[in-house]
Chain A
Amino acid sequence: MALAVPAFGPANAGSKMGGTLKISHSTRIATLNVLSLSGPAEYPVIDMAYSGLTRIGPDSQPMPDLAESWEASPDATEFTFNLRQGVNFHDGTPATASDVVATYEAILNPDIPASATSVLNMIETVSATDDLTVKFKLKTPFADFPTSTAHANARILSEEALAGDLTKLDTVVNGTGPFKMENYDSARVTRLVRNDDYFIEGKPYLDAVEMHLFPDLAAETTNFLSGDIDVMLLVQQADYERISSAPNVNALRVPSGRYVNVVMRFDQPPFDDLRVREALAYSIDRQLLVDLVLEGLGRPAHDNILSPEFKFRIDTPEKAYDPEKAKKLLAEAGYPNGLKLNLVASNRPAIRAQVAIAIKQMALSAGFDINVETMPHDTYIANVWKKGKFYMAYWGMQPTEDATFNLLLTSNASYEDTGWKNKEFDDLVQAGRSTTIESERANAYSKAQELMLSELPYIIAFYEDVLTASKSKVQGYTLNPINRYFYLESVWLEE
């Protein structure tokens, strides 16, 4: 069964060649090691410099990147990818199947830290059947495999680089992407220039892209509005209104499934009682949170981890803000005089503490006496994350339902943190990934969501929009709601 998909966008009519695009960002580009990096400003850089086998498109579906087509076996346990011909790395050496194999072996190697492992750990073997063909055999069936190969940290490195000193990957870039690294200064400006040898004809349009670091948001905003920066990578909710009303500025608001979730641990009181979890869910005014914390730049959610963008998402009943009902549920669960709790929020990003404070205030009238405890991010990761009873977590949107469920909710999820461990849920998720027949997948996933909504492992109060801004001379700029893919090869400047 062939699943060839047309290449993303031939050169756009009306596009102009040339110019340097200046992008400002407020977090450091600390490393260029594509296997393990996780910084928000690092993703655009590797999106420009490297290619994966596949890449997630603006429609959140996998599209060809280094592979021009792929096939799946009917039982979704074998996948064959056909690579483009004549692709070279930036240093001129050809990119072939052996580089792909070397990259995937590195990702699966337990001695090499790699962030993509959790979505690729079902790979049993990877081999090059010839110079341009790569074959994957999976341990268990997985229909969404081409989405996994599009993982932002699963980009293809050269076999040579992987055989040498791996610490070089932190500072040296040799990829097959539309832009080449010219200068990397993590304290100020990182500059990439056009790869004239890029495998998509006529692209990229830009001569160069520069990433400018501004660690202070006020300085970054002021500079964007009055200086010569063309794109502000991430806009804060508080500034969005002001920026979007400025002359010559296009502010972009991309609805996304990004969420802040309240984690309630199942295997300890008081959250082992469903009524307590439900009580908290009714103590939260979701629309108010969107208005206060997101400045209206988001959508209220009613505890479904999947946002409306997902194909197999079911309609979710609304949970109104009902402190009276919450009080009754608490009394039934044995807390007629209310419940005292400690809610942990790490200091990164700041939205965790803001939501925690708002929840604290709103849940007062329902009888919850919540103490918000903030702590440095690394202390949180070492001491609270995946262990704590009650804390705020923050996750970006994943490309598929399966990825979302397997990230956090299944019993063997890499970042499982609620102690839910529900076999029925696991089976449903497994069923969803093991077949490529749409109706069967829809069935499995809707049952899984119903189970999740009735058991309430997390409280998810809103979906946060992704916000960015560009000057009006910038054309073709858009962001993917997953916020890992930037398509800068399709951007041009209208002077």
Chain B
Amino acid sequence: MTLGYIFRRLMAVILVLFVVTFAVFAITMILPGNAAVMILGEYGTEEAVAAMERILGLDKPWHIQYIDWLVGVLHGDFGQSLRLSLPVADVVGDAFWNSASLAITALLSVTIIAIPLGALAAIKRGSTADLIIGIFSYIGSSMPEFVTATMLLIFVAGPALGLLPAGGFIAINESLGGFTSHVILPATTLGLVLTAHISRQVRSEMSEVLSSDYIRAARLKGLSEHRVIRRHALPNSLAPAVAVISLDIGYLLGGIIVVEEIFAWPGLGRLLIYALENRDLPVIQAITLVLATVYALSNFLSDIAIAILDPRVRYA
């Protein structure tokens, strides 16, 4: 795990990020429609569409457009949204913080809940508690977000109970209470599958660890069960959980797209769907870059964490 290795990994990721944005760009150019067409819709005559394309800079050859964009990005300028006529940096920046507040809330809640749940299930393996946790896990990880979200909306926020707002968003710096009431349902939806997945992973890994020679030896040494679990079993069980968390961050970033759309949460997911529909290329590029960077960083950090936590991998 030398500094040089880390540096090379980072460079590779950066290179790929640009390849990805180039690919996104190239593919969009192949598409028959573009933002000008989407803005004017069926009320656009050929002249109007052509005029709009000129205004948006879409009439330039595509490699020029990409180079313009690239040069801009290297200067920190992500261009102008084609559909929203606002700077991309503003639009994506706002959306980013909104998504981050949702994702972090979900991830924190999941970690706090899932790891103890999994450990409990492993320790009390075969008991009723294990069974209940197991059933909950399986059902939770088998429901796609759009099903969970719809169910929650209807039953918790619907006219019958009306316990929580049916979608919408209040920034955390505007009102903590408002933010909390609006974040509960989307965070729960996002977290359900992750909680199930992670707790199952912890349970399975910890069961294996608990029956291993290493733990048997620790018990024979006379250490209390409590100590065995806390100091020996748990740390060794966490490595795959961390691996799963990092893979699940990818799942989270995907799940956030549907959840934001359904709960009207003004984050990157909702913005991406809107940008894709309207062929708003600069916004699509920026969001792809942001999401890929977040994901790559989280993978990278989790690799380091795994190496620290699992002695086997470190010496492989």
B264 contact set on A, CB distance < 8 A: 213-216, 219-220
Rounded to whole angstroms, the CA-CA distance of A110 and B45 in the bound complex is 10
Which of A117, A186, A223 meets B168, CB within 8 Å? A223
Does any Cβ of B come within 8 Å of A170's Cβ? yes
Partner of A115, one of B31, B48, B86, B274: B48
Q: How many B residues have CB within 8 A of the partner chain?
A: 51
Q: Are B39 and A31 in contact (CB under 8 A)?
A: yes
0/1 interface trace, chain B 270-294, chain A, CB 8 Å (1 if under): 1100100111000000000000000
Taking the closest CB of chain B, its distance from the CB of A155, in whole angstroms, is 15
For A395, list chain B residues within 8 Å (CB): 42
**Which 8 residue pairs of A and B lie closest in terms of their CB atoms, listed nearest first?**
A378-B33, A170-B85, A219-B167, A382-B32, A222-B166, A187-B266, A113-B48, A113-B52
Partner of B162, one of A215, A226, A393, A415: A226
Chain A residues near B162: list those with CB within 8 A.
Answer: 226
The stretch of B153-161, B203-211, B302-310 in contact with A is B153-161
Does the CB pair A222–B51 fall under 8 Å? no
B91: which A residues are within 8 A, CB to CB? 187
A186 touches B84 (CB 8 A): yes
Contact in complex: A117, B45 (CB < 8 Å): yes
Contacting pair B261 A215 (CB below 8 A): yes
Chosen A-B contacts, 7 in total, with CB atoms closer than 8 Å, are A31-B39, A170-B85, A219-B168, A220-B167, A223-B167, A382-B37, A394-B42
Contact check, A115 vs B261: say whether CB atoms are below 8 A apart: no
Complex interface: chain B residues within 8 A of A212 (CB)? 168
Q: In the complex, which residues of chain A have a beta carbon less than 8 angstroms from the beta carbon of B109?
A: none
Chain B residue nearest to A216 (CB atoms) is: B262
Q: Which residue from chain A places its CB closest to the CB of B273 in the assembled complex?
A: A215
A167: chain B residues at CB < 8 Å are 55, 85
Nearest CB of chain A from residue B207's CB, rounded to whole Å: 41
CB of B85 within 8 A of CB of A171, answer yes
Give 1 or 0 for each of A374-409: 1 = CB within 8 Å of chain B CB: 001111011101000000011100000000000000
Instruction: Say yes or no: A188 contacts B48, CB within 8 Å.
Output: no
Name 20 extra pairs, CB < 8 A, besides A112-B51, A222-B158.
Answer: A30-B83, A38-B39, A110-B51, A113-B40, A113-B44, A113-B49, A117-B47, A118-B45, A215-B274, A216-B264, A219-B167, A219-B263, A226-B157, A226-B158, A227-B165, A377-B41, A378-B31, A379-B33, A381-B44, A393-B42
B94: CB under 8 A from chain A? yes
B199: chain A residues within 8 A (beta carbon): none
- Whether A378 touches B279, Cβ cut-off 8 Å, given contacts A114-B48, A118-B45, is yes
A246 within 8 A of B: yes
Chain A neighbourhood of B94, CB < 8 A: 187
List the A side residues contacting B165 at CB < 8 Å.
223, 227
User: Bound state CA distance, A223 and B85, in angstroms?
Assistant: 29
In whole angstroms, what is the CA distance A377 to B32 when docked? 10
CB distance from A278 to the nearest CB of B (A): 27
Query: CB-defined interface of A151-177 with B at 8 Å, one 1/0 digit per residue?
Result: 000000000000000110011000000
Interface centre among A166, A212, A222 (most CB of B within 10 A): A222
Interface residue B228 (Cβ < 8 Å from any Cβ of A): no
Interface presence of B169 (CB below 8 A): yes
A-B pair number, CB within 8 angstroms = 136
Q: Any chain B CB within 8 A of the CB of A315?
A: no
**Partner pick for A38 among B34, B40, B45, B277, CB 8 A cutoff:** B40
Within 8 A of A (CB), among B100-157: 150, 153-154, 157
Q: A225 within 8 Å of B by Cβ?
A: yes
- Distance, CA A186 to CA B84, complexed state (A): 8
Residues of B near A110 (CB, < 8 A) are 47, 51
Alpha-carbon distance between A235 and B281 when the two chains are bound, in angstroms:
31
B48 and A218 contact, CB distance less than 8 A: no
The answer to whether A376 and B33 touch across the interface, beta carbons within 8 angstroms, is yes
B43 at the interface (CB under 8 A from A): yes
Q: Which of B32, B52, B266, B278 contacts A188 (CB 8 A)?
A: B266
Q: Is the CB of A447 closer than 8 A to any CB of chain B? A: no
Are B43's CB and A38's CB within 8 A? yes
Instruction: Convert A4-44 into 0s and 1s, putting 1 for each residue whose CB lies closer than 8 angstroms to a CB of B.
Output: 00000000000000000000000010110100111000000
Query: In the docked arrangement, what's the CA distance between A218 and B263, Å?
Result: 9
Residue numbers of A with Cβ under 8 A of B are 28, 30-31, 33, 36-38, 110-115, 117-118, 166-167, 170-171, 186-188, 212-216, 218-220, 222-223, 225-227, 246, 376-379, 381-383, 385, 393-395, 414-415
Query: Of the candidates A30, A31, A215, A246, which one forms a contact with B270 in the assembled complex, judged by CB atoms under 8 Å apart?
Result: A215
In the complex, which residues of chain A have a beta carbon less than 8 angstroms from the beta carbon of B169?
Answer: 188
Provide the bound-state CA to CA distance between A188 and B263, in Å.
12
Bound-complex Cα distance A377 to B39 (A)? 11
Interface residues of B (CB under 8 A from A): 31-34, 36-45, 47-49, 51-52, 54-55, 83-86, 91, 94-95, 150, 153-154, 157-159, 162, 165-169, 261-264, 266, 270-271, 274, 277-279
Would B262 and A385 count as touching, CB distance under 8 A?
no
Give A301 to B37 CA distance when docked, in angstroms.
31
**Assuming A118-B45, A222-B159, A226-B162, is B37 touching A381 (CB within 8 A)?**
yes
Give the Cβ gap from A481 to chain B, nearest Cβ, in Å: 18
Inter-chain contact B153/A219, CB cutoff 8 Å: yes
**Contact B166 A223, beta carbon cutoff 8 Å:** yes
Q: What residue in chain A is nearest B270 (Cβ atoms)?
A: A215
B266 touches A113 (CB 8 A): no
The answer on a CB contact under 8 Å between A31 and B159 is no
CB distance from B147 to the nearest CB of A (A): 12
- In the complex, chain A residues whose CB is within 8 Å of the CB of B271: 187
Cα of A223 to Cα of B168 in the assembled complex, Å: 9
| Docked CA distance A37–B162 (Å) | 37
Which of A113, A225, A385 has the most C-beta atoms of chain B within 10 angstroms of its own C-beta? A113
Q: State whether A38 touches B167 (Cβ < 8 A).
A: no
Name B43's contact: one of A115, A222, A226 (CB within 8 Å).
A115
Alpha-carbon gap, A106 to B214, bound state (A): 81
B38, B43, B162, B271, most chain A CB atoms within 10 A? B43
Q: Which residues of B contact A381 (CB under 8 A)?
A: 33, 37, 41-42, 44
A117 touching B40 in the complex, CB below 8 Å, given contacts A213-B264, A222-B154: no
CA distance A265 to B264 in the complex (A): 41
Give bound CA distance, A376 to B38, whole Å: 11
Can you name the residue of chain A whose Cβ is closest to the Cβ of B80? A167
In the complex, the answer to whether B166 meets A227 with C-beta atoms within 8 Å is yes
Q: Look across to chain B and name the residue whose beta carbon is closest to the beta carbon of A166.
A: B55
Closest residue to A246 on the B side, CB-wise? B159
Tell me, in angstroms, the Cα distance from A215 to B48 when the chains sit together. Answer: 28
A472–B289 Cα gap in the complex (Å)? Answer: 48
B residues in contact with A118, CB < 8 Å: 43, 45
| Chain B nearest Cβ from A455, distance in angstroms | 23
Q: Which residues of A contact B261 (CB under 8 A)?
A: 215-216
A188 CB contacts on chain B under 8 angstroms? 169, 266
CA distance A394 to B169 in the complex (A): 34
> Does the CB pair A113–B55 fall under 8 Å?
yes
Chain B positions within 8 Å of A113 at CB level: 36, 40, 44, 48-49, 51-52, 55
CB distance from A469 to the nearest CB of B (A): 14
* Contacting residue for B153 out of A112, A114, A222, A385, CB 8 A: A222
Bound CA–CA A395/B261 (angstroms): 27
Highest count of chain A CB atoms <10 Å: which of B91, B150, B277 = B277
CB distance from B205 to the nearest CB of A (A): 38
